[in-house]
Structure formats: structure tokens, C-alpha cells
Structure 1
């Protein structure tokens, strides 16, 4: 059995672990256990070290150099349990799993032993520096990755504040922050979109293998359907034939689709462009679609990427990868270029005006009104000083003639 001794009235413990020649010491202060190795093999020297260590640690607590309270590791474990239960059905399980991974892999190893009150804005900045210097394979994490980790840190601290473990959450805003670079999401210009759908149409007519004909035809209709509706890829995969109705729009007299959409924003509605009607009808006829069948049981991702690579269009000129989401972005950009109302686009796409202005409107030249920009102020006409005529002034009634 390992040797054990008590000092300071039982507040300090000196003990030796099995298979170890050094004495250890421990105490309970500020709501948590503190342990350290004395690095001494002699019991007398180990006791002297333990007493000095205990008194120094107690003095730090009195001076406020060491904060008491719940540790970050304890709060993080409680938070993730609550977060998983409370957000069930509201947050994606993948998002919750990512939060757990951020805590276990990065945040707890750095902040775990710290009391919540010890986590300050300066310590958060030290964490940023640590992550930038110790990235995966020598590469610093992306800006969005680091932002999500700070979001997770802030949520743990808010959990501690709700339970009264800290009085307030420190300001975790990164210092030296500048305005973010204006970026846009990958989309297809009119010329690029024409090349792409012509390539998918050609592949549908002449597939590389006969058994791939249906998949190629479905992909072609998928591309046309998405660019004319603006649906998210996950919304399109959930779509059933009973969710789509072919109607004549009262305002435009065009035949369009009215779609009941189920996605990450819950249930919403979408009115398509007329170009989505024929792809939908072809899909229903080709696949003998029943009301509860999916329009797109599977997204032909490999074929989609293969055609993009053949056209050398997988990346746009800024290096952004084109994906199925690019078809939604193309729909929004085309609508903006045609002068559609941005608020109506946001409603039809189940997003916000702010998101459209940030990621789409900033790079669409048609959103700039040249008539309002190239305004020229008219220059005032130069005025010549009037010449006085003494004789005419004298002839005016009510005036006395000047002396001659």
C-alpha cells in the first residue's frame, strides 16, 4: 500500500505512488484539487517542499493571483450535455458533434485546468496565437475555423455565467480586426452556365455507357431545375412530387412551379422561373413519379464534377470550388442582374437580405445605378457686372438729374 502522510491539520497530503520513488503532495483550495510532485525521495525534504508549496499557493489565492471556482473542463462537460439536449431538433447533430470535437481537441487541452474567472480577453488572444503556431501539418487554421472555436468558448463561458460561476463574460473580440475582404460564392455567369447545361444535355443524349443514360438525364434536369428555383441542395434532395404544383401565375400569366420546401429553415415556399416546369415534367414522366417519391433520390456528384472538370470550370477565376450550391448562387445572381427586388429574392430563397447583400449583390454590376452615380452638378452661369448709364438713370421718373 502506498505511503501517505497528512500535514497542516489534514489540509495538506504527502504521499508516494506505487512504482515511483518521488513523493507527491496535494491540497484542496478554491474548489478544486491541486497536485504537484516534490521531486524528492527523502520524506523529510518532501514535507518541507510540500509546506512551502502549500503556503505559497494559499498566498496566491489571498492576493487574487489564482482564481477560485469551477474549471473550464468541468463547465465544458456540463455545457455540451445541455447543448445536445436543449438543441435537439433545432440544431443539426453534425453541428453539435463539431462543438464536442472543438472542445475535446483544442479548447479543453488549453483552458481545461483554468478556473472560469481566469479566462480573460488576453488569455483568449494567447489561445489564438497558440492555434496559429500549432496548426495541423504546420498550416494555421482558417479564419472561420478559429472563429467557430471562439464561439464555442464564449458559449461555455455564458453557461458558467448563467449558473453564477462567473459574473460576466469577457470581451472575446479579436484585436487588430480589419474589415473582411469582400468575397463572393462560386456561381456561373451567363456564358459559363450556357456551356455547362449544353454539356449536361449532350451527356444526357450520348452517355458514356448505356446504363448511365437515366443518371445523365436526371443530372441535366437537376441543373435546369436548380438554376430556375434557387433551392438549396439539401432542400432539393428532400423534395417529393407532392410538394410541387404546376400553376399559372396570376401576376405574370406564366406557367411556373409552386414548391413547398422543407430544409434547414423549416417549411417554406418557393415560386420558380418558367424554365423549371419542363425539367420537372420530364422527371415525373421518366421516373414514373408517385406523390411520395423523391424528385432527386440521389445527386450525381461524380458526374457533376466530371463534366465541370472536362470544361475546366470546377473553379472560378478566384479559386472558389463550384459545387451543387453554385446553382443556387447562380439563380440569385441572375435574378439580381435582371433587376428583381432583393427583398422578394430573399423571401423566395428563404434567406435574409443581409446575406444576399454580403455574398451576392456586392459583385453584381447591375446593382449599381450609373444614373445615380454619374451625377454632374450644373455650373452656375458667369454673371457680368452691369454697366451703369448715367443718362438713362437721369431719365427715370422720380430721380433728379445729375448736375451738369
Structure 2
């Protein structure tokens, strides 16, 4: 059949039958549908989701070229649209997609890599700096943030289809993402941090002092207890203790701690030899793609003295500005203390918080920010000092136990 719609040109459709009566019935259906769509302000021609998606991808590329979108969106969004959106909706009419379809799509997407089409895919190829690379597939449901991000792109595609006249009203995209279990970064309660510090200090003493030496068994079945720490172990535990104290009293991220050089500890050299009350330092923090100056508590200063002393003892010279603050016995930068920190947590019976979530060195930063909030520091000041946003403070660090701020929740305003 062939017919014309005013303002939309000529439309040709195959009726897929050799029987005249059946062809006439199908022709009538197509004609009535096309004229109805035109009266509703839609395109008379039915557009498949796949065709609309390709048109939307071309729009994305043009917007990237004009600087209206970020370049990374021009790489990530088209592949997302083709793999997931087109992979599910395919040749279906774009104006036939309903709220129910979107709900079913959401569940299909969650299981794409585990039970769906993705279970047969072994790797993903991508391009970076002109090179073709590949990465293994992660067999898991997409994260909460990724599901929300993909929903934003799908919503934009359907809204653009409305602007092009392919559908009247987009279906409601309310993809309900099941909330994850509470996985805020684990911190320490004040009494727990006190226990951590006490345990760390106890691990610096010789086992012979308290009889806590580990039992050693030889291949010939002899057994004895370690009575003294070797110098290497004592040094490692001392560096770890300094790390704990500096992290808890500065709020630096682990990466920022590892990146610290003595040139980043501003005002430290000038104050050496003076009492703690007469000294003050600032820390130039670098990490996570950002930098800034942090103001630590003065309680962190003695532990910089400890690290300075260890460096002098090991290298037989004072540190220069380019030397790392957290250094090995050979003066090399320590890249991680995670294993030692875990052993310390186990020794203090603090490896997991009350939710069962494993603590990490990042817990020291969480402890710092929570303590600052608890003791009345301004949220804006904390965010600036920790090089983060107010939103992140509220999301990850604002959950302070009510019992710890009970006095602030009972200001003197009640009537007698």
C-alpha cells in the first residue's frame, strides 16, 4: 500500500500477504493508525526503538563536537544504549513502550551479566588514547549509582523522541532500585579508638614484659615463646602507630597520607625543638585527583617527630623535602599499611564494626570527621579541610549517634 499524510509525505508499507481481502483489512488498520497519529501531533510512521536510539546516538556525537557534552559521554553513552537499551527493546515501536516494560527492563538489566545475554560474554573491548583494550567482565549486578545513571540516559532518549514527534508522552521511568544495606564507611566510637591506641602501644613493648609472646613451633616439635621484638617488627609497628594517630587527628585520606613528603608538612622544621603548645603545622594533601591544605590537630605533631627520628636512625641523615613521611627502613615510600592495620584491628578485636562491616585505614578519616561534627565544628569548615563536599559529608559522615550529642538536642528552652 502507498498513501500520503499532509505535511509528512508519502508512506509505503508492505502488507505481507497475497490475499486481497486480508490485504485490504491490514491496509485499513495501517491507514487509521497513521491518520490517528497525525491528528495527535505524532509522526504517522511508526518508529522502532532501535532506529530512534541510533538517531539519539548521532545527536550525542554532534553535541560532543559542539562542546555541549563531555567527550567521555560520547564514548560511554552510545555503547550503553546499544548494549542494554537496544538489546532489550530492539525493534519494538518506541511509542508502544509502557511503564510495565520499563519495570521488566530494570530487572533484566540487573541480571544481564549473571543470567542474561552477558553471561556468555568473556570480555569487553574499548578504546583509550587510540588503543584498543579489553577488560574482563564483572559478574555482578550494576551498582546503585550506575543503575540511576543509566536511567537518566534512557529518560533523556525518550524525552528526545517526544521532541521529534515519535511519541506523545514518555512512559514514567521510575526504576525502583533496591536500596543497598547500610554500608557507610565504618568508624570507631571514642572508646573503641582508645582501645585501638592502647593495643597498638602494647604491641610496641617486648612480649617478655607481659607474657604475650607468640608461641613458635619448630619442625622437630620444639616449642618456645618469642620474648623480644626484632628491630624490623618494632619499627613497622611504630610507623603504623604514627599512621593511626596522624590519620585520626588530621582526617587525611590513605592516599594523601602515603603521598606526604616532608616538604608537605609546612612549618614543621621551623618548630622543631619547641614545645608542642608553641608549634603548629599545615599539611599539603595530594590525592584522589585533588589537592589542598589541611589543618591537623596539634596532637598529630609528636608522631611526625617519631617518624622524623625513625628516618634519621635508618638513613643516618635528616629527611629532605622530597623524602616521604611514611618511609621504610631504606627511606622508600610505603605504599600501603593495610595488612599491618588489619593485624592491629584483630589484636584489638575491632576488625569489624557493629554492622559487621570490615574496618580499613579509611576508618581513621571517618573517625576524625565524626568527632569534628560531634564536638561542634562547622560542617562547611570540615568539608573544606577534608577536601570534600557538603553532600559527601552528609551522605557518609553525618550519621552521628544521638546519644553523643544529647546535650545539643536538649537546649534550655522548655517551659516549666
TM-score w.r.t. length of structure 2: 0.59
Deviation string, structure 1 residues 228-253 (Cα, Å, up to 9, x no partner)? 111122332333332221368xxx96
Q: CA deviation at 1:301?
A: 1.5
- Larger mean CA deviation between 266-275 and 177-186 belongs to 177-186
Q: CA deviation at 1:262?
A: 2.6
Deviation string, structure 1 residues 347-368 (Cα, Å, up to 9, x no partner)? 2112233433443333333444
- 1:332 aligns with 369
Deviation string, structure 1 residues 25-55 (Cα, Å, up to 9, x no partner)? xxxxxxxxxxxxx9xxxxx99xxx9999999
- 2:173 aligns with 172
Partner SS state of residue 322, structure 1? coil
Q: CA deviation at 1:220?
A: 2.0
Aligned residues: CA RMSD: 5.2
Cα 1:211–1:372 shift into 2, 3 Å:
closer
CA distance in 2, matches of 1:261, 1:168: 50
CA distance in 1, matches of 2:170, 2:289: 30
Task: Indicate if the aligned counterparts of 1:135 and 1:141 stay in contact, CA closer than 8 A.
Answer: yes
Task: Indicate if the aligned counterparts of 1:225 and 1:276 stay in contact, CA closer than 8 A.
Answer: yes
Task: Indicate if the aligned counterparts of 1:72 and 1:115 stay in contact, CA closer than 8 A.
Answer: no
CA distance in 1, matches of 2:74, 2:299: 39
- 2:87 aligns with 109
- 2:350 aligns with 313
User: Which structure 2 residues correspond to residues 189-200 of structure 1 after superposition, within 5 A?
Assistant: 189-200=189-200
Task: Indicate if the aligned counterparts of 1:183 and 1:359 stay in contact, CA closer than 8 A.
Answer: no
Cα 1:370–1:77 shift into 2, 3 Å:
same
- 2:127 aligns with none
Structure 1's unaligned 5+ residue stretches are 1-7, 10-37, 39-43, 379-404
CA distance in 2, matches of 1:80, 1:197: 56
Cα 1:97–1:162 shift into 2, 3 Å:
closer
Aligned counterpart for 2:237 among listed residues 216, 222, 225: 216
Partner SS state of residue 228, structure 1? helix
Partner SS state of residue 362, structure 1? coil
Cα 1:76–1:261 shift into 2, 3 Å:
farther
CA distance in 2, matches of 1:77, 1:309: 55
TM-score w.r.t. length of structure 1: 0.60
Aligned counterpart for 2:302 among listed residues 278, 293, 310: 278
| Equivalent residue pairs, number | 331
Cα 1:299–1:158 shift into 2, 3 Å:
same
Partner SS state of residue 292, structure 1? coil
2:321 equivalent to 1:291: yes
CA distance in 2, matches of 1:371, 1:81: 55
- 2:251 aligns with 230
2:291 equivalent to 1:267: yes
Deviation string, structure 1 residues 64-100 (Cα, Å, up to 9, x no partner)? 69435744367569859988x9757xx9xxx999989
Higher relative contact order (CA 8 A, sep 6+): 2
